[in-house]
Amino acid sequence: MAERVIQFGRHPLSLDRPQVMGILNVTPDSFSDGGQLLQGGGLDCQSLLRRAEAMVTAGATILDVGGESTRPGAESVSVQQELDRVVPAVEIIASELDVVISVDSSSPQVMTEAAKAGCGMLNDVRALERDGAVQAAAETGLPICLMHMQGQPDSMQNDPRYFDVMSEVADYLKARADVCIDAGVDRSRILLDPGFGFGKTLQHNLQLLNRLSQLARLGYPLLVGASRKSMIGQVLNRTVDERLYGSLATAVLAVANGAWVIRVHDVAATCDAVNMAVAVVNETGE
């Protein structure tokens, strides 16, 4: 049987095994690693490259670069600020490392410029709902991840409510995928993300993870990002820097329930956990 792949720019990735995505936030205020890759108000190029190299060495096949924090209560940044953070980061990584670069952005301008700079994937927490985003993303020809979020980052956790979180998330993601297909995006280039922590209570998050296989039935590859999130802190009563083991548990459960991309801060430990989960799911050590 031929190997199933998705082409991310010049990089093919196999659909036959899960991929680990390392998080590279070039922001001052992301909830876990904000400010670590900035210096004097600008991008710390050496720190960025060292972090990227370490993640690739540890097993990450995708690096997700974000220039705007979307943590609960986060303030928006201007398009120019985001461009100034993201585009140089993409250029540096693309020139030095053989890895898929994803850009975590909702801005059409950032998507367009990041594609020119060498990114291979677009990852939008707003599922391309901003004016012009669907067309901009379609024109890049790159794979796109569409995420579910109820509300906006500055208010999404105020009082999230659902009649049925599973069906509402599934219906929203399918509808956004249909919009992209109608705009000329090939179905094979669409990924879906249920959006853990984005307008959801703890119970909503736990239900989504437990029943993730229901979303997999939509027929699109799934991306899961639960690394270090508050759902883990709430269950285990751990601070952000104490959530590794909880994050690994969510990664294993996500793989067992059909996730294809696991988006994380701790790449090496997650790769071990994912590889072990894959061996059990496939009943093979290969």
Q: What value, to the nearest 5°, has the Cα angle with vertex 242 and ends 256 and 212?
A: 20
DSSP string, 147-216: E--SS-TTTTTSS---S-HHHHHHHHHHHHHHHHHHTT--GGGEEEE--TTSS--HHHHHHHHHTHHHHH
Whether 33 shows a pLDDT value over 90: the answer reads: no
Q: What pLDDT sits at residue 17?
A: 94
The DSSP symbol for 78 reads: -
The model's pTM: 0.92
Cα–Cα dist 135/11, whole Å: 23
Cα distance from N-terminal residue to C-terminal residue, the chain: 17
pLDDT tens, position by position, 89-126: 999 999 999 999 999 999 999 999 999 999 999 999 99
Q: Which amino acid is at 82?
A: E
Q: What pLDDT sits at residue 37?
A: 60
Cα–Cα dist 60/51, whole Å: 11
Instruction: Just list the catalytic residues.
Output: 229, 263
The DSSP symbol for 222 reads: B
Q: What is the mean pLDDT of residues 14-36?
A: 77
Least confident of 49-53, 61-65, 126-130: 49-53
Q: What pLDDT sits at residue 253?
A: 98
Domains of the chain are 17-281 (3.20.20.20)
What six digits make up the tokens of 41? 């108000």
Q: How many residues does the chain have?
A: 286
* Confidence class for position 176, pLDDT limits 50, 70, 90: very high
